[in-house]
């Protein structure tokens, strides 16, 4: 990738990472409901899931090339179904029990959210195919950019976690309204993926 494209690439990474999506909304909801420790436990899963998505995108982009477009829609439907399930779970949650933290806010939840997060998969494939492949077919370059990508979205994701921690007391009085709003936003993400 030419140095002249680096600012555009970084801006693309930041905008895609900071905008609302399934992982950001789940992180915010986890921080609001359970606090920092549980949300960070889930974040570790989000980070590993993002890393696996990025590495998968490197290999898919390098080895499959143009065949990828056939599978994006299938991944979109799978991701949309999982996001709708998350929205339903968010609507069902009603108390602030810390005992639930281990069950619903953990590494595995974060990992599954990211592995089914079509926004992240499309982001990684787009970053590689739009910013790297037009300039080089080097696997090393693709791998280097792929190793950088997990430090974009998950770092932005931390902003959502710490916003949730900061706003936790404010939202405690409006828990049901917050759950409905978060579930509606997740459902909107799912609809956007399925279309």
Given pLDDT bands bounded at 50, 70 and 90, which one contains residue 2? confident
> How many residues make up the chain in this entry?
195
**CA–CA distance, 101 with 33 (Å, rounded to integer):** 9
Q: How confident is the model at residue 70 (pLDDT cuts 50, 70, 90)?
A: low
Per the structure, the count of domains in the chain is: 1
| pLDDT exceeds cutoff 60 at 69 | no
The per-type count for the chain, helices as H runs and strands as E runs, is 10, 0
Rg of the Cα trace of the chain?
Answer: 17
Mean pLDDT of 81-105: 63
Q: Does residue 118 have a pLDDT over 50?
A: yes
The reported pTM is 0.73
CB atoms within 10 A of CB 48: 17
DSSP symbol at 138: -
Range of the domain at 57: 3-194
Q: Is residue 165 a contact partner of residue 35, using CB atoms and an 8 Å limit? A: yes
Tell me, what's the pLDDT at 193?
59
The answer on pLDDT for 66 being more than 60 is no
Check if the beta carbon of residue 156 is closer than 8 Å to that of residue 118. Answer: no
Phi, psi torsion values for 138, nearest 5 degrees: -70, 125
Whether the pLDDT of residue 97 is over 50: the answer is: no
Write down the mean pLDDT value for the chain: 79
What's the rounded mean pLDDT across residues 137-166?
Answer: 89
């Amino acid at each position: 990738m030419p140095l002249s494209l680096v600012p555009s690439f970084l801006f693309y990474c930041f905008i895609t990472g900071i905008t609302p999506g399934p992982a950001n909304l789940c992180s915010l909801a986890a921080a609001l409901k359970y606090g920092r420790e549980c949300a960070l436990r889930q974040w570790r899963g989000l980070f590993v899931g993002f890393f696996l998505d990025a590495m998968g995108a490197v290999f898919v982009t390098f080895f499959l090339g143009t065949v990828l477009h056939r599978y994006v829609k299938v991944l979109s439907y799978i991701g949309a179904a999982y996001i709708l399930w998350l929205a339903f779970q968010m609507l069902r949650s009603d108390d602030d029990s810390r005992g639930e933290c281990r069950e619903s806010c953990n590494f595995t939840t974060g990992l599954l959210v990211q592995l089914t997060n079509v926004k992240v998969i499309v982001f990684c494939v787009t970053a590689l195919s739009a910013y790297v492949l037009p300039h080089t077919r080097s696997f090393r370059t693709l791998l280097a950019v792929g190793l950088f990508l997990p430090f974009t979205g998950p770092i932005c994701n931390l902003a959502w976690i710490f916003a949730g921690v900061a706003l936790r007391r404010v939202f405690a009085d409006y828990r049901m309204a917050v759950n409905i709003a978060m579930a509606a936003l997740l459902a909107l993400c799912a609809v956007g993926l399925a279309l």
